Amino acid sequence: MSMMKIFDISGSAVSSQSQRLNVVASNLANVDTVAGPDGKAYKAREVTFQTVLMNTPDGAPGAGVRVAQVTENQAPGRKVHDPANPSADADGYVTYSNVNAVDEMVNMISASRSYQNNIEVMNTAKTLLMKTLQMGQG
Amino acid sequence: MNRLTNSLDFQAQALTLRAERQRLIASNIANADTPGYVARDMDFASALREATGTQAAGSTMTGATATARGHIPIGTGSTSELGLKYAAPSQTNLDSNTVDMDRERASFVDNSVKYEATLRFINTDVRTMLDAMKSPSQG
């Protein structure tokens, strides 16, 4: 039953995309934060996908996906002159996170579309498998 | 009996290949966002010809046999030798991923419909055979 592997393949993609969505959510949540948990400004995070081979026992190819790493964007944070802010530095500048809200929204849409695509693949595979199970009956 | 099951054997091969192709397209869709991934697809017609041809003309084919432990086995009609092809990118991409989602979705639907068609052929074959086995009194 090589169709069964589709659930592994699409399932790995769905979980990777949901991890990407998770990262987007934390970036968007921190779009206006001044300091992260380490006291410095929050750095936008980004996931990198990697193909993981999911061959069937007889060697037929299949390719799932996994999150290889989560990297931090090292671009300098947004600086705003606001001497009254308690987080301002000696020159009166406050460093905000380097999250680009537009980038994150685009990322979010892309992740959710890929998620939907893979769910649909699994639904189709399920329908076909159910019909295969009824082979010879109707 | 062979004439009865000939068509059934052929459809069974086609169904297996359809399932393989479905999995292949699912892999492509899963890796739509993976940098550097190269989309693959199979030439269904030639894969089916190979799968059914080697079965029918098994005696005339000269199969290679592994004579030493280090030899790489040559598949004859096995699913690992499907002659996969790499998809040419329709639009260049900065992360060199060649998955074209429009094409993949179209192939996926196309393959699903043809999978179902093959299933129906099998069902019809089975029904025809069952009908032939019935006695006239059974209606």
- Residues 52-71 of chain B whose Cβ lies under 8 A from any Cβ of chain A: none
Look at B20 and A60 and tell me if their CB atoms are within 8 Å: yes
Predicted pLDDT at A135: 85
The whole-number average pLDDT for the span B41-51 is: 86
How far off is chain B from A2, nearest CA to CA, in Å?
A: 6
pLDDT at B61 over 70: no
pLDDT at B82 over 80: no
pLDDT at B77 over 70: no
Residue-by-residue DSSP string for A81-137 = E-TTSTT--TTSEEE-----HHHHHHHHHHHHHHHHHHHHHHHHHHHHHHHHHTTTT
pLDDT at B54 over 70: no
How far off is chain B from A21, nearest CA to CA, in Å?
A: 13
Q: A112 or A56, which is more confident?
A: A112
Suggest the residue from B16, B27, B105 to mutate for an interface test with chain A (most A CBs closer than 10 A): B27
For residue B32, the chain A residues in CB contact (below 8 A) are: 114, 117
- Residues 21-50 of chain A whose Cβ lies under 8 A from any Cβ of chain B: 48-50
Which of A56-65, A114-123, A127-136 has the least mean pLDDT? A56-65
The interface pTM score, or ipTM, of the predicted complex is 0.79
Predicted pLDDT at B79: 47
How far off is chain A from B78, nearest CA to CA, in Å?
A: 9
How far off is chain B from A35, nearest CA to CA, in Å?
A: 31
pLDDT at B13 over 70: yes
The whole-number average pLDDT for the span A96-123 is: 94
How confident is the model over A29-73, as pLDDT tens digits? 999 988 766 778 889 999 999 999 887 777 777 899 999 999 999
How confident is the model over B100-116, as pLDDT tens digits? 888 999 999 999 999 99
Which chain B residue's Cα is nearest to A3? B19
Please check whether residue B76 touches A, CB under 8 A. no
Predicted pLDDT at B73: 55
How far off is chain A from B52, nearest CA to CA, in Å?
A: 18
Look at A61 and B27 and tell me if their CB atoms are within 8 Å: yes
Read off the pLDDT band of B57 (50, 70, 90).
very low
Predicted pLDDT at B59: 35
Which of A123-127, A129-133, B116-120, B130-134 has the least mean pLDDT? B130-134
Please check whether residue B31 touches A, CB under 8 A. yes
The whole-number average pLDDT for the span A107-123 is: 95
Please check whether residue B116 touches A, CB under 8 A. yes
pLDDT at A13 over 70: yes
Task: Please list, in sequence order, all residues whose beta carbon lies within 8 angstroms of the beta carbon of residue A124, skipping any fewer than 6 positions away.
Answer: B108, B112
Predicted pLDDT at A106: 95
The whole-number average pLDDT for the span A88-105 is: 90
